[in-house]
């Protein structure tokens, strides 16, 4: 019996290429999975640090039309407008909006956890 050596060589090359393709595809998919996990962790950290989820339940006293912001965050005025204010800075309602008379809600920066 005489073996066909050309068929054996071609088959060896094709199976070798198939194995390389499977290994490279698996490696690439694992790299993409690791990158996605890193980006998810970064996104979660950013959302935890900069989200406006902590609702301040303390009332803000406005004397003579001015007040000092108790935290960095979003402040909802009575005219349904939101403003972003910084902690410790003194603001007047006329600076924020012409038709605002009070602050209805305050959402401080950072998550509620």
For the entire predicted model, the pTM comes to: 0.55
Terminal Cα-to-Cα distance of the chain (whole angstroms): 77
Are 90 and 62 found together in one domain? yes
- d(Cα 67, Cα 89) in Å, to the nearest integer? 8
pLDDT tens readout for residues 6-15:
778 888 899 9
Average pLDDT over residues 8-31: 94
Q: Are residues 30 and 3 in the same domain?
A: yes
Mapped onto helix, strand or coil, the DSSP state of residue 89 is: coil
Q: Are 31 and 83 within 8 A, CB to CB?
A: no
**Structural domain of residue 71, as residue ranges?**
54-108
Is 113 domain-assigned?
Answer: no
Model confidence pLDDT, tens digit, residues 54-99? 788 777 777 787 888 888 888 888 888 888 898 889 988 888 887 7
Shared domain for 66 and 91, answered yes or no, is yes
Identify whether residues 58 and 91 lie together within a single domain: yes
User: Within its chain, how far is the Cα of 59 from the centroid?
Assistant: 29
pLDDT at 4: 65
pLDDT tops 50 at residue 30: yes
In the chain, the number of structural domains is 2
């Amino acid at each position: 019996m005489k073996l066909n050596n050309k068929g054996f060589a071609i088959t060896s090359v094709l199976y070798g290429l198939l194995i390389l393709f499977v290994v490279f595809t698996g490696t690439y998919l694992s790299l993409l999975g690791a990158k996605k996990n890193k980006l998810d962790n970064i996104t979660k950290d950013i959302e935890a640090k900069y989200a406006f989820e902590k609702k301040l339940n303390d009332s803000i006293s406005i004397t003579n039309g001015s007040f000092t912001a108790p935290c960095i965050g979003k402040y909802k005025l009575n005219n349904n407008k939101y403003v972003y204010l910084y902690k410790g800075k003194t603001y007047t309602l006329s600076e924020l909006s012409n038709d605002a008379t009070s602050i209805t809600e305050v959402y401080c920066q950072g998550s509620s956890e």
